[in-house]
Structure 1
Amino acid sequence: MPSGDIAGMTLALLHRLSEQAHEIGASFGAAPQEWEAVRTAFSAAMMSGDGVRSFTYILLLMMIGAGLEWFYWTYSYASLRVLLNTEPSSPRQSLLFGLRRFWITGFGLLLFAVAAIGSTSAFVWPPGVHDMVVTLTLTLVMFRFIVIVADIVLSPGTPQLRLVPLPDRTAFTSMAAVALFAAVGSVAWFVPALITRIAGTPNLAQALRIGLGTLIAVALLLACLFTRRNREDVLAGRRRGLLPKFPRSLASATVITVVYALWLFGYSAAAVILGALAIVIAVQASLRSVVFYFWRDKILPEEPPHDGRESEEHHDSVQQDLAPSIILPAVRLFVALIGIGVCALAVDVPLTALATSESPLARFSFRLLGVAALALLANVAWITVRTTIDYRLSTIDKVDEHEQPGPGARLLTLLPILRTTAATVITVMLVLSGLWTLGLEITPLLAGAGVVGLAFGFGAQSLVQDVITGIFYLAEDTFRVGEYIESGTSTKGTVERLTLRTVALRHHNGPLHFVPYGTLGTVRNTSRDWVIEKFNLPLPIEVDSEKVRKLIKRVGEEMLNDAELGPLIQQPLKGKLYRVEPGIKIFRCNFRTAPGNQFTVRAAAYKRIEVAMNAAGITYAGNLPLTRTLDPAGP
């Protein structure tokens, strides 16, 4: 932009600010005379017959509204008293109690408003009085509504029902401040416009509007400047080595000052947009703590019993952790949509008009809003999918390398891949939808992506082969996380994790092998169903073979009846003469157990056989070592 244009815009802005300042000064200069005229006219009207009659009508209206509300409370106060005296069992129940309190008290206020405003049509009013009565009634209703909501949220007299983490003193102070702001804000919202309509005194109305707005701005500035950060939080941040944060009170005071200046000098739309943007940012920054506050009893659940069994209460507490993570992005989306709606009302242009506007900037702004909405929806979908999968993974027991993988091993295998796939799909759909929303034609992009994908497939055949082979391995449930497998390339180990292209195998000696699916070949899974463990006993040539066979069988029966070993054995220990060599007899022993349990059962079998042979006077042949073989396929 040329420097001359910038200078011209600056001068035009200064000229407008100067005119607005003179206009404000003129309004305040003429306001006393207009006030005196309004006061004189009001006094004269009240001394007339119409004034007395109007005052009587107003009293009747208040009596009708208050009487109907009193009649309602005669039957409803018992329910409210029960809520106020009930201790909620959880933070979420306190939120439910708050909604019930809002329904009870809000319905009473609604009855008062409908009765008072509706009854005005039954009377004949002097000119302007009907407008004044309706406006003042709406002012009172707005004030009471704000006070009701603040009382439910802050609950100064009932701390057990409080919906925000505030101490009692702060809750009482905040309640008084909200009531004051509600009174001033309600008057500033309705009364200046009323004065302009019925009295024709625009200078007085503007002076009153500016005075009340200035009072609110000064009160907010004082509240920001005198609100200090908790000293304990500052010291904790220093101990963790965190950099000092920019003072939030100073940032809030700056935003309030700018919004007030924009509003004061006639830029009301810009003031509303900036204020709405600041409020949305502040609410978004605190939403996480607010949402998780209602799950504070579930976020850090108590440790389960140390006997290895998880209680039902602990399982329920873990299960509740899923809800706030899904609710949080939905609430963020709702708050963002409210902010967008407020900004659209501020500029006084319907969203449909923005879409059909001839201004490129307006159309582009509308499309950016659509992209932002798509991004928020994608975030909600991703958070929901990710949280659901992470929660399901957290409920599955970890795989023990010495035990057979349980039924959750397949979920441990597929869910991480499903999470990665979902992230990819959501990202691609968001990018394509965003481009289409911005007005870009995505059909050529899809066609080009198909051509590029085809060329990529020919150029990276091994990569495509790995991915497709992995899909079939997973679909056929060939192996799972935690299972011990041997590939056709002689690579073997325990499956630790799977990606879209490779499987990570941890060798029993420690090394971690990353094997592409395309090179696995024939897979030998030694962790499915059962395994037969075999080992040899070298005994002297003169030993009685039948006696040894019965001895091994008796040991097998004892192990099968053992409280600890019995559940691990599927077929009992047996033995038979395997072969005869010069000077020795080789007896082959075998048993069947679940994969991973054979090591424990084999060690126990060695010990019991040794004890039984010593008792029978049988020794091993010379110093020959024991040998064993492992045959998962069968005897």
Structure 2
Amino acid sequence: MLLGRKACLGFCVALGMAVLAATAAAQVSPGGVHPAPAEAQPSVSVTDLSPEAVDALLSRLTDADVRALLREELRRRADEQAAAARSATQTGVRERLAEMASTIEARLADWAHALANLSDRREPIHQSLGRAEHGIGGMLAAMLGVALAGIAAAGLAGHATRNWRAWLMAPQNAGYWDAVVRTVALGLVELAPVAAFDFATVTMAPMVAGALGPMVDYVWIYEVGVTNSWGFIVLSRRAFAPDAPGIRIAPLSDAAARRIHGIVRRAVQIGAAGWLIAGLSPTLGLGFPPALITVALAGTAVAALLIVATLRSYGRIRATLASVMLDRGGEPSALARIVIAAAPGMLMAYLVLAWVYWLANWLESGQQHLYGPAGTLILLLSLPILDALGGELVRNAFRADTPSAGRFRAVFRGAWRMLLGIAAVFVAARLWGLDLYALAKGDGAQAWADALFDVAVTLLLARFVWKLILAALHRERVAAAGEEDDAEAAGSRLDTLVPLFRNLLLTVLVVVVAMILLSSAGVNIGPLLASAGIVGIAVGFGAQTLVRDIFAGAFFLIDDAFRVGEYIELDEKLRGEVEAISIRSLQLRHHRGAVITIPFGELRSVVNHNRDWVIYKMNFRMEPDTDPVKVKKLVKEVGKEFVAHPEHGPKFIEPLKSQGVYMIDDDSALVIRVKFKCRPRAQFVLRREIYHRLREVFAEHGIHLARRKVEVVSGGDASSAPPAPILGSAAAVDGDAARGAGGDG
């Protein structure tokens, strides 16, 4: 706020004088004499200074001193204004309450005096009744005729539409939209008797105006009271459909629907009766005090009815709210449990406060302030219907009966409920005369309210986007019958890629939300973005290895070279099961337990032992005189045994078979190769079992594995003595045979 020239000049002069006085008090004269005491110094007023003195005073202050002192003074004045505003608000509230109490006290005293002296109203009553041309009997007969005309017209309209009502209440199918269409149509049909009653009443009254006398003025009160209350009861009956469960659009049980409609109907009837009775007082000359008291008593009776009904239905309110909020079962969230537990108490407190608010305004001004109390209550009763409407819209948008569609339905159903709750808060505040949006985003809105509104919207949108990400990148998978292999492969790929994508999207979302929140809080994010760009360039030059690892990992994942849970081999020493994949490296779990972390940039080739199928070959070194045909038959029989085995059989894709003589070893041993085709990673177990079984079968049929031997030929006559073979130990032979059986050939 800018100060005027004179105010600024005076302010600066005053501050300058204070600074000079403090400076002078802290200094001493060259002769060591202190200045005179403050009380001995003459006081100087700003108005006593000449322009030259003012200039001399200001010349001693620096710009920094002036700015600092001006800032402190402006803050002090701002604090004083805020305190004054708070004090004014509190004072205004107290004054308003005191004024209301005084007005109500005075009006109650006047009403009590008027009721105590009703005998003084004989003359106005006689004058009012004297307007009837045929006396009191004719007036009553005419009023009865008007009422009967309206009732007869309504009865004829109801009789004419009875077949329509019966057809609309018997749905052809159980679809939601069919129920909505029939409910709306049935409501319009049931309003036909109300319209007929209104038309007949308004038409009949002028015909007997002379006989009605003063009751001519009462006809509009009667017509408005009956028509509005009747129409509201029709609206309640169609909203909760206690008589037509087949087309009920509110997600309520039959008992809950009948109970709620019964309470609403009784409350409307009490209010209408109070309105009709109160209208007789001014019409017949009794004055307004009896009418005002009657309406106050009727409104109090309605509030008492609702409060007692809430007390009696404490548990049922919780159960009904739980059935509506949980929507086809499920575990309630913490917020849902709090709302369900606190709903009856909050409803009761609201009814009490709404009754006090309405009664105070009615007693003070005689005006019906019903938009806030009654409108909010109607809004609360409409929330289950609107919630069911949103649920049906979401179900129609995602019709597929799949887990993915179910997750998206849950996300959008939650978003609908969130929007419904926010809209209900704004509408309820508007009904009470408070425009929340204008307070937050209007021309005169406070900066903190504007920022808080933007922050709330940003966080809600971020929450919705994150829920969508979680629904789209859900890791749970279910394999369909006959598709186990494809589902397992797809699931393994999802387990590899989903965490990376989810973390990446979460990082981007957090950064974007943080920038928006800072911008909403008034922080200039332009320098932050520029600094982030410069830092990014610097980091890019200094982290080339990291960038190489990230890009290499991205291409490995795009190529689907490996997945989490697969057994891979990078070289002779680096092998193991892929345990985790990060943005720059992977972790292998060696079969001995060690965890090996390898950056993607260091990967050259990857041998994957988990894809589709594996052909495993085993070499057996047999004696030179072994019959290959016999070996082939034995291998085939063993292959049949393994295929029929309950544990090992499902692991085979093609059974064990012999490929015949693969080669002749240097020491005249026959190398016979067998092979089998199996599922990935099953070869390690199968080769062990196959080797043990074949060794047993070969031994049973007199077929022996060849032993390694070395022939030593002496320098003498080779024919004089046969060469003496040097045989290895049995353990060495068995170990060599095992190595031969386990080789890939």
Is the structural similarity TM-score above 0.5?
A: yes
| Count of aligned residue pairs for this structure pair | 585
Q: Measure, in 2, the Cα distance between the counterparts of 1:452 and 1:13.
A: 55
**Alpha-carbon deviation of 1:451?**
3.2
**Alpha-carbon deviation of 1:608?**
5.2
Contact 1:27 1:204 in 2 (8 A): no
In the alignment, which residue of structure 2 is the partner of 1:299? none
In the alignment, which residue of structure 2 is the partner of 1:109? 190
Q: Does 1:383 align with 2:473?
A: no
Q: Deviations for 1:597-634, whole angstroms, at most 9, x for unmatched residues?
A: 32454356336534542453213345513226888xx8
Q: Does 1:407 align with 2:490?
A: yes
In the alignment, which residue of structure 2 is the partner of 1:13? 93
In the alignment, which residue of structure 2 is the partner of 1:596? 681
Residues 160 and 394 of structure 1, relative CA distance in 2, 3 Å threshold: farther
**Alpha-carbon deviation of 1:437?**
6.1
Secondary structure at the aligned position of 2:476 is classed as: helix
Structure 2 letter corresponding to 1:414: L
Q: Does 1:483 align with 2:563?
A: no
Contact 1:555 1:573 in 2 (8 A): no
Q: Does 1:471 align with 2:549?
A: no
Contact 1:570 1:594 in 2 (8 A): no
Q: Does 1:624 align with 2:734?
A: yes
Residues 454 and 100 of structure 1, relative CA distance in 2, 3 Å threshold: same
| Percent of aligned positions that are identical | 20
In the alignment, which residue of structure 2 is the partner of 1:22? 102
Residues 190 and 58 of structure 1, relative CA distance in 2, 3 Å threshold: closer
In the alignment, which residue of structure 2 is the partner of 1:606? 691
Gap runs ≥5 in structure 1: 234-241, 296-312
Q: Deviations for 1:102-145, whole angstroms, at most 9, x for unmatched residues?
A: 33532323444555557778678566744752454123211331
In the alignment, which residue of structure 1 is the partner of 2:658? 574
Q: Deviations for 1:34-86, whole angstroms, at most 9, x for unmatched residues?
A: 99779889867777789976765565455445533443331341442468xx9
Residues 278 and 62 of structure 1, relative CA distance in 2, 3 Å threshold: closer
Q: Measure, in 1, the Cα distance between the counterparts of 2:239 and 2:377.
A: 23
- Find 1:543's aligned residue among 625, 632, 655: 625
In the alignment, which residue of structure 2 is the partner of 1:142? 232
Contact 1:532 1:593 in 2 (8 A): yes
Residues 5 and 133 of structure 1, relative CA distance in 2, 3 Å threshold: same
In the alignment, which residue of structure 2 is the partner of 1:68? 157
Q: Measure, in 2, the Cα distance between the counterparts of 1:136 and 1:218.
A: 22
Q: Measure, in 2, the Cα distance between the counterparts of 1:320 and 1:397.
A: 17
Secondary structure at the aligned position of 2:233 is classed as: helix
Q: Measure, in 2, the Cα distance between the counterparts of 1:554 and 1:347.
A: 91
In the alignment, which residue of structure 2 is the partner of 1:332? 418
Residues 589 and 377 of structure 1, relative CA distance in 2, 3 Å threshold: same
Secondary structure at the aligned position of 1:590 is classed as: strand
Structure 2 letter corresponding to 1:13: V
In the alignment, which residue of structure 2 is the partner of 1:301? none
Contact 2:158 2:193 in 1 (8 A): yes
Contact 1:259 1:271 in 2 (8 A): no
In the alignment, which residue of structure 1 is the partner of 2:166? 77
Structure 2 letter corresponding to 1:103: V
In the alignment, which residue of structure 1 is the partner of 2:725? none
Q: Deviations for 1:236-257, whole angstroms, at most 9, x for unmatched residues?
A: xxxxxx99x9976555544554
**Alpha-carbon deviation of 1:276?**
5.9
In the alignment, which residue of structure 2 is the partner of 1:310? none
Moved more, 203-212 or 336-345: 203-212
Q: Using CA pairs under 8 Å that are at least 6 residues apart, name the structure with larger relative contact order, 1 or 2.
A: 1
Q: Measure, in 2, the Cα distance between the counterparts of 1:555 and 1:278.
A: 82
Contact 2:652 2:677 in 1 (8 A): no
**Alpha-carbon deviation of 1:219?**
4.2
Residues 218 and 476 of structure 1, relative CA distance in 2, 3 Å threshold: same
**Alpha-carbon deviation of 1:336?**
1.4
Secondary structure at the aligned position of 2:675 is classed as: strand
Secondary structure at the aligned position of 1:495 is classed as: strand
CA RMSD, 1 decimal: 5.7
In the alignment, which residue of structure 1 is the partner of 2:714? none
Structure 2 letter corresponding to 1:108: V
TM-score by length of 2: 0.61
Secondary structure at the aligned position of 2:611 is classed as: coil
Residues 454 and 437 of structure 1, relative CA distance in 2, 3 Å threshold: same
Secondary structure at the aligned position of 2:665 is classed as: strand
Residues 172 and 276 of structure 1, relative CA distance in 2, 3 Å threshold: closer
In the alignment, which residue of structure 2 is the partner of 1:181? 267
Residues 393 and 39 of structure 1, relative CA distance in 2, 3 Å threshold: farther
The structure having more radius of gyration, on CA atoms, is 2
Gap runs ≥5 in structure 2: 1-78, 207-215, 320-336, 707-729
Q: Measure, in 2, the Cα distance between the counterparts of 1:192 and 1:451.
A: 78
Q: Deviations for 1:184-224, whole angstroms, at most 9, x for unmatched residues?
A: 56778999999999999776666555444444444454455
Moved more, 553-562 or 64-73: 553-562
- Find 1:517's aligned residue among 591, 600, 614: 600
Q: Deviations for 1:344-396, whole angstroms, at most 9, x for unmatched residues?
A: 34336595797442x232x7546644543444344334334423443x73335
Structure 1 letter corresponding to 2:552: T
Contact 2:639 2:655 in 1 (8 A): no
**Alpha-carbon deviation of 1:20?**
1.0
Moved more, 576-585 or 336-345: 576-585
Residues 52 and 225 of structure 1, relative CA distance in 2, 3 Å threshold: closer
In the alignment, which residue of structure 2 is the partner of 1:554? 636
Moved more, 499-508 or 324-333: 499-508
Structure 2 letter corresponding to 1:503: L
Q: Deviations for 1:384-434, whole angstroms, at most 9, x for unmatched residues?
A: 4423443x7333589xx9999533322333334334444444444444555
**Alpha-carbon deviation of 1:439?**
7.0
Residues 77 and 22 of structure 1, relative CA distance in 2, 3 Å threshold: same
Residues 73 and 167 of structure 1, relative CA distance in 2, 3 Å threshold: closer
Q: Measure, in 2, the Cα distance between the counterparts of 1:424 and 1:209.
A: 62
Contact 2:653 2:678 in 1 (8 A): yes
Moved more, 69-78 or 58-67: 58-67
In the alignment, which residue of structure 1 is the partner of 2:672? 587
In the alignment, which residue of structure 2 is the partner of 1:323? 409
Structure 2 letter corresponding to 1:109: E
Contact 1:503 1:515 in 2 (8 A): yes
